[in-house]
Structure 1
């Protein structure tokens, strides 16, 4: 083999090695984004826990009346909004906060895979809304957005509106979702959602007590950060090797 050919092969190998390193680095950054952002949403300090506990006390007072669940709610105490058939062999339980940046990161990375699997009838996703960021940073955007999402469930538009809320999520410190007008404006991105019935549901806070009860269930189950995502009871957030492809394979294996 000529020296020129050997040099060409070495150069090709070097380029391949560099490309592989770039891919590894990109994957590491992706995982770090999810894990790192999740830390923002974890109750770590006693002071923060105290604030949340205080807020929880206030919420329990607000929710002393009857708790109304949105149409089609399921799971324990009807606190989950299901997407996908009840006959699916795998269930993905998702605890999310519409103000949480780590939840947006999770959704941005896994949304298309989850939607594909639910549409194929292989997965049932059960979404629970919590108000963790309202407690951490004060405000009411988590609660208001959660209520609006529950209102969209009554219209049969939950999945699409859920996705719109995460796609348009404001910065964590910006409590933009505290505005019902903003939430109704975003509903315009979902065909047929901005009816008078939906607007009234949003403005009346019809499901505020239900959202508050969902957050209490989140705490009672010992969860401390969002997103908390479980596949058939297994916490996926503890898996540092999780990717959309791996999630899809886990679900498809369960369906064999």
Structure 2
């Protein structure tokens, strides 16, 4: 069984446990009682930002392949630094067992900035979308590799109904076909194969070249300096989701500015991990 298979199997049990602790009707009541205005995640990524790019900066403490990255990371402080550095949006890993995240991290990150916030999670059920909305998420990640076309269709429909955007993640031409069939518009291209953990920076530009009008690509994984970004810009991609290298940066504000074309910051480690 691959790491991804284990994560999904464990996620089913965790979601079932969460639903027992807080039934869906209670979660819906919480949503109804909470003031919330969508911050337009997809709209922020529709056109290039400063330096010709948009960066979705990620709050990430650990990964199953890398282990601890910054286990003591403060989500609110990290998000505020990302906002100061010019990030277009914030991504928050909310998986606990494998990434040491929590929904509370998303709540705190959103409260610390006025940027749209993505729940990055292994979403396989409607319940998780209601969780995301109750926590204040502006968008959710939907991974084609772990969903059937019918599941993706249903989750996309509910995401829209709840007022959120969806970043649909693919890694192959076959997965792009599924994403397109479901009507996905914001498409994340993971340069890392989640089965083997091999990373190929050409994956994003190759798949982006297949995309049609109205489809917005977002490159993720293995992007850790301005040179990598410029290579993607040449391939028509101006949106990037960057995690580990940002979290590890000694000066996140300066590093973000460098990624967007500003003066170089201190040397950064390569981004990696699932």
- Compute the TM-score of the two structures, normalised by the length of structure 1: 0.36
Structure (1 or 2) with the greater strand fraction: 2
- Compute the TM-score of the two structures, normalised by the length of structure 2: 0.34
| Larger radius of gyration between Structure 1 and Structure 2 | 1
- Greater relative CO (CA pairs within 8 A, separation 6+): 1
